[in-house]
Structure 1
């Protein structure tokens, strides 16, 4: 933030997975000029799609609202009201980024669940950490002092030389046991667009390539039962133990 302040830069925080996250008593999304949160189906709060932008500046927030709705100066709430119809103007070249009221209602209803859901994920996370402590894998780093971790994804790093199995073979073995896993994420140079657009090759970024090819995410959800987690733990230990 000090660098941004010195150079007059606008700071937009990517808080897609971080609605519960704190750093020394401050919530993620409150450090910069904007904080952007995702409410996609797999996030800790979901509206099906879409997200939320917050700002400490009413002026910046007002412009974001205009840009999100075709560049129109008034949304439907302000055009159609008890006082009668109000004309709008298109004041900028905007986008179609507005959230439907139905989606917003679904999201608002989930706000009360943020804390209990976080507590359940923290509990599941701790069990995973304990269950895999003796396996030849890299576990997530412990949260730093004075911070609050979102516990959004639980990832293992699988080095084939240590584990005796590649990440993709591990994915197949878990799938054979009817347990879903994920990859978060492949490195950017693995994707054709970046290879074609910028001429990147994965080998130019060996650390990113290694991480992208070794990472695997295990199921982590407040709806995950103790029995299901035990089945996941048993499967991982069978494959890697």
Structure 2
């Protein structure tokens, strides 16, 4: 059973049906699902959220300086963190937003030991601002923060994807779900789990990853209770 968990969420999970913007209703449903899953487990939870529902540097920043486009994306993750915080606290869960980019009016600066103290006090820590530097994805941020705070696992939440397959199930109806694999197998087979930098860091440090469908009823509760869901990747 996991004691401390880092949950990686896509910004699109907060979006409207077109996959863009922030939908208060969609965000509230996601927040309620997370809060309900936490009840009675004693799990300490940190969340890293992306910003793809608001901005994607590679797509939206064409013609811009690449670093500037990435910084805009980091600001988008803080907006998502604020929306998620509002929804989780409305559901009764104390939270703290911590940002790698300082903006003290809306978020605490990310300080490792302070983040760990919030977790020990039962607060969910929502991590925005990426890792404060351009050219890194929120996958890499998730791995980095998980290692810093001593998380037992990175939970890679997906929507309507129940794990890692040996080929693209959207193109190959015979694709098979992989229940368990090593980091090295994932690298060698080029399976789409997270970006290469994040995956290599997990492999080097022996950090387990679980890829699962967060919108499948009961999945998150099962993971918090130590049950097997989705695909487990470990050394």
Q: Under a length normalisation based on structure 2, what TM-score does the superposition of the two structures give?
A: 0.26
Higher relative contact order (CA 8 A, sep 6+): 2
Q: Under a length normalisation based on structure 1, what TM-score does the superposition of the two structures give?
A: 0.26
Structure number with the higher strand fraction is 2
Larger Rg: 1
